Structure 1
Amino acid sequence: MGSTPVFEAKETVRKSKGAGSLCCYCGGPVMVATCDVELLFCFIPISHKVKTKYYCIICSTRFVPA
């Protein structure tokens, strides 16, 4: 018997651009991604957040904004 998830988080990227800085681990360029995150309860949206994520293109390291 299959189970259906009750809660689901759906994330979509709105825009992505260069952050103008370098990765401290590999020296690669850092990108900024603005994401929409929706929390769904039985396919009904109950929460909506806009998050900003920083990450390196080469080594995929995630950074926390200061």
Structure 2
Amino acid sequence: MSLVFVGNSEEKELGRQKAPGMCPYCEGKVTAMDVESQFRCCFLPVCYKIKRKYVCTSCSKQLVLYSE
């Protein structure tokens, strides 16, 4: 008996907007991107998630927010 898992994940950009603050690495401007990720199993959509990612416009690093 064998088990084969066929699946993939796709991301699509929904929009961009300015974000407050600056990049801690190069002090460039930061943009906020809304991204829709979709997981498919055997070509059938299983899960949709909408995330907000922060990216520096100068050095293109993805920034992570930490809250306490």
TM-score strictly above 0.5: yes
Q: What's the % identity of the aligned pairs?
A: 31
Deviation at 1:61, TM superposition (A): 1.3
Larger Rg: 2
Aligned residue pairs: how many? Answer: 62
Deviation at 1:40, TM superposition (A): 0.3
Structure 1 unaligned segments of length 5 or more: list them. none
TM-score normalised by structure 2 residue count: 0.83
What is aligned with 2:60? 60
TM-score normalised by structure 1 residue count: 0.85
| Aligned residue identity for 1:28 | G
What is aligned with 2:28? 28
Deviation at 1:54, TM superposition (A): 0.4
What is aligned with 1:7? 7
1:18-42 CA deviation, whole Å, 9 max, x = no partner?
1022111111100100010000001
Structure 2 unaligned segments of length 5 or more: list them. none
Distance 2:62 2:10 in 1: 19
Deviation at 1:62, TM superposition (A): 1.1
